[in-house]
């Protein structure tokens, strides 16, 4: 599939995009558009510091490994609310996320963000696709990510295939923290992701959730902050599968193992409830 790239002169405004998202509730097709967007984005030091504070990252002079998602969020919204995109944004479920840090992300002030969608596949509950995001600086490729998203109710031919992580290492407890009732609102403020399921019990119930749930990418960011002493700063791929949501407020325990340049981890809740499973490996 050849991507029809469009270059934007500035980041799109989120307010307009949220209005578009709120007014689109129907599935309009079963084909992904050959559409992609480029945009140069500046790193705001104050915003970066606010993100570090919410997610628990220390200031080590590098962009946190999950921060490029924040730089790309408006462009992702632009793509997922485009008329050619066939699925409603509200209701999409983030199943897994994979990032690759190709070079150390120090001294990064301006990047070119690129987003596109690909790999539409049948799923037991609908269909999945990959939201692909890349960051380049003046020297070339810096960071890339794939987020697998599920749209319920889409009917595609074929057999669904699901990936599962199999940990081969013994995991031990390395951290424990609380996910407070307001973390969804606090993370929304720095990420721009104001999905109602994260903001309050009242708004979450409108979408079938008994309580607000933490953003999946906050869970991943908070986990990587806790593992920062073990993670390589470059040439590393960090993948997670989101399992059961973290209901707010809640307490979670991080289990992990590290073996040189590789490691596995799990984010566990009360009663051995698995919220997230992940691993890091050298980039192949």
Residues 195-247: tens digit of each pLDDT? 999 999 999 998 888 999 999 999 999 999 999 999 999 999 999 999 999 99
Spatial distance between the Cα atoms of 229 and 30, rounded to a whole number of angstroms: 43
How confident is the model over 45-58, as a mean pLDDT? 98
- 144 & 23 share domain: yes
Which of 163, 182, 198 terminates a domain? The answer is 163
Q: Is the peptide bond before 209 cis (omega within 30 degrees of 0)?
A: no
Residue 242 is part of which domain span? 165-284
Strand order across the 35-42 sheet: 4-8, 35-42, 110-123, 126-137, 140-152, 93-101, 236-242, 274-282, 262-268, 250-259, 172-179
Average pLDDT over the chain, rounded to an integer: 94
What is the reported pLDDT for 43? 97
Query: What domain count does the chain have?
Result: 2
**CATH number of the structural domain spanning residue 268:** 3.10.129.10
Which of 163, 188, 216 terminates a domain? The answer is 163
- 155 & 205 share domain: no
- 92 & 230 share domain: no
- 200 & 245 share domain: yes
pTM of the predicted structure, to 2 decimals: 0.94
Q: Is the pLDDT of residue 109 over 70?
A: yes
- 126 & 139 share domain: yes
- 21 & 151 share domain: yes
- 130 & 208 share domain: no
What is the reported pLDDT for 208? 84
Spatial distance between the Cα atoms of 78 and 81, rounded to a whole number of angstroms: 6
How confident is the model over 75-83, as a mean pLDDT? 97
- 13 & 126 share domain: yes
- 41 & 60 share domain: yes
Which of 136, 163, 190 terminates a domain? The answer is 163
The alpha carbon of 124 is separated from its chain's Cα centroid by a whole number of angstroms, namely 22
- 146 & 172 share domain: no
Spatial distance between the Cα atoms of 194 and 14, rounded to a whole number of angstroms: 10
- 14 & 141 share domain: yes
What are the tens digits of pLDDT across the range 162-197? 666 665 568 999 999 999 999 999 999 999 999 999
- 152 & 171 share domain: no
């Amino acid at each position: 599939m050849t991507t029809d790239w469009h270059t934007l002169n500035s980041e799109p405004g989120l307010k307009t995009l949220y209005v578009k998202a709120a007014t689109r509730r129907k599935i309009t097709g079963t084909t992904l558009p050959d559409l992609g967007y480029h945009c140069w984005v500046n790193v705001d030091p104050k915003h970066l510091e606010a993100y570090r504070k919410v997610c628990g990252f220390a200031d080590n002079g590098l962009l946190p490994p999950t921060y490029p998602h924040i730089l790309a969020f408006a462009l992702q919204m632009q793509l997922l609310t485009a008329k050619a995109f066939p699925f409603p944004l509200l209701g999409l479920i983030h199943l897994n996320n994979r990032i690759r840090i190709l070079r150390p992300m120090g001294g990064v002030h301006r990047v070119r963000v690129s987003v596109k969608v690909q790999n539409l596949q049948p799923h037991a509950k609908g269909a999945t696709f990959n939201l692909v995001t890349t960051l380049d600086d003046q020297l070339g490729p810096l960071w890339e990510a794939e987020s697998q998203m599920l749209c319920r109710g889409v009917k595609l031919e074929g057999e669904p295939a699901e990936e599962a992580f199999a940990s081969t290492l013994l995991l031990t407890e390395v951290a424990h923290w609380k996910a407070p009732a307001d973390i969804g609102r606090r993370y929304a403020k720095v990420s721009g992701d104001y999905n109602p399921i994260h903001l309050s019990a009242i708004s979450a119930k409108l979408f079938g959730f008994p309580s607000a749930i933490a953003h999946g990418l906050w869970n991943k960011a908070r986990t990587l902050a806790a593992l920062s002493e073990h993670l390589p700063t470059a040439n590393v791929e960090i993948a997670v599968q989101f399992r059961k949501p973290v209901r707010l407020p809640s307490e979670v325990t991080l289990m992990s193992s590290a073996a040189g340049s590789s490691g596995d981890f799990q984010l566990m809740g009360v009663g051995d409830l698995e919220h997230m499973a992940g691993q890091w490996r050298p980039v192949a």
